[in-house]
Homo-oligomer: A and B are copies of this chain.
């Protein structure tokens, strides 16, 4: 569909060329955001690596200013290190990595992030990124990595190794067209929010002015990266089944393939399925499975009952830990937290939603704090399923007449083996109906708990208002009562006053009770 001559211009392009031209899709748009994006990619990778190796993460982020809109970023972790032969592809080739195809809930998941930073660094400064890594085996490797954009292949220079006793990875990237500040879209805010959702990590940020901030860990349990999951029978699509059958499985029969490749699928399930689709299909060689047969199988699976997707796969922060973290970081008066059971969205992908609502106390104004697999989402709030879900809830029902005018922080973490991001910049979750609906339900569950608090608060307000009126009319009231009772007005007044004070005392007790207990 183009003009007569335009087909002379028909060309193929590498994915690196695509993202170089569309760098904003990776989050390299404005100056502040570009720097935050680089920090995001490196810090996510560092935390993922530590968790896969069950190491308590220590991550240090250093930002140095080299000139106007010209910065040096260095991120170091105490992770397991990267084998030297893998380093070039990790940092120098897009769509290469360990996470893309595996069913584990990592922060990075695309095999784009770190190589994307390399591309941005080289297109703004012409320089490679510098990588230093060791697996703790006494050998430290260093090298410079760039990307050959036309071919999407790494270029390595200055590769060398030497002896040294250290384990971890350190990446240094020099970038232009970036800037550092402490706005709500800054690297500072990114690290602060990361700390809230990752209490097992110690993170140090050194800012361009030399100021050093350490977020110490408040949890000493290393987060174990879950064992890799299998697709759940209720979530699998026809296309998935065909891909499994034609490209993945080593099983000789469709029946054994289903048992080997799907979760919670045993002999009993095979028998039940046989009744629904017949024996012939299940006896087939997977390589010969046809689309219409796969369609029949998937339709039959939907009629069967299976246990829910395994919770093991999804690493949640946990309601208790969220509460602790929100209390420590925000000092609210009230916190309600909810961790929902895992669900599955289209394509058999398990996910789980956690919500925290912190109100009043030192919380001023309204803020929505979004996370995906415990990585903060700072940008594109308007495009995010989380925002959509928050807006869809009728908060009045839960005693919040206007979120915007209330003092509330809503914390939402979506955990999944594959977060459906709106774009490769990984800052907003797409409006997948199952995900939006589940976030909404989590918020409503939190809402029901909030209601106890908000109704006590409004009850208290009402009582205090009544007391104010009584206080105001106390002199007249005492005089009138004294006349009727034929008593001394001063005496009556003292009695009434005491009764009111007693009532006030009870109100204060109620207030304290709201502050301390009654948590959702």
Contacts and interface: CB of A to CB of B under 8 A. Distances in A.
A80 interface: yes
A276 interface: no
Given A422-B24, A424-B423, A428-B383, A10 B124 contact: no
A430 to B, nearest CB: 4
A30 B433 contact: yes
Instruction: Output the residue of A15, A30, A430 with the most chain B CB within 10 A.
Output: A430
A2 interface: yes
A126 interface: yes
A29 interface: yes
A12 B93 contact: yes
A432 B383 contact: no
A68 to B, nearest CB: 11
Contact of A98 (B10, B126, B425): B10
A49 B2 contact: yes
A404 interface: no
Contacts of A225: 3
Contacts of A98: 2, 6-7, 9-11
B424 A25 contact: yes
Nearest to A290: B126
Interface stretch (A236-244, A351-359, A443-451): A236-244
Interface string A225-238: 10000000000011
Given A45-B1, A177-B346, A12 B430 contact: no
Interface in A115-165: 122-127, 135, 150
Interface stretch (A83-91, A190-198, A325-333, A361-369): A83-91
- The range of chain A's interface size is 35 or more
A261 B431 CA distance: 43
Interface string A2-42: 11101101111111011001101100011101000000000
Nearest to A432: B29
Interface in A34-56: 45-46, 48-49, 52-54
A376 interface: no
A431 B29 contact: yes
A100 interface: yes
A140 to B, nearest CB: 15
A305 to B, nearest CB: 22
Given A12-B96, A21-B418, 14 more contacts: A1-B46, A2-B80, A2-B82, A3-B52, A11-B97, A13-B96, A15-B18, A22-B110, A25-B423, A25-B424, A30-B431, A126-B238, A177-B346, A381-B382
Interface of A: 1-4, 6-7, 9-15, 17-18, 21-22, 24-25, 29-31, 33, 45-46, 48-49, 52-54, 77, 79-83, 86, 89-90, 93, 95-102, 110-111, 114, 122-127, 135, 150, 169, 177, 225, 237-239, 242, 247, 291, 294-295, 346, 380-383, 387, 418, 420-425, 428, 430-433
22 contacts: A1-B81, A1-B82, A2-B82, A3-B52, A4-B135, A10-B97, A13-B101, A13-B111, A15-B18, A18-B100, A24-B432, A25-B423, A30-B432, A33-B431, A124-B237, A126-B291, A150-B247, A380-B422, A383-B383, A422-B425, A423-B424, A424-B424
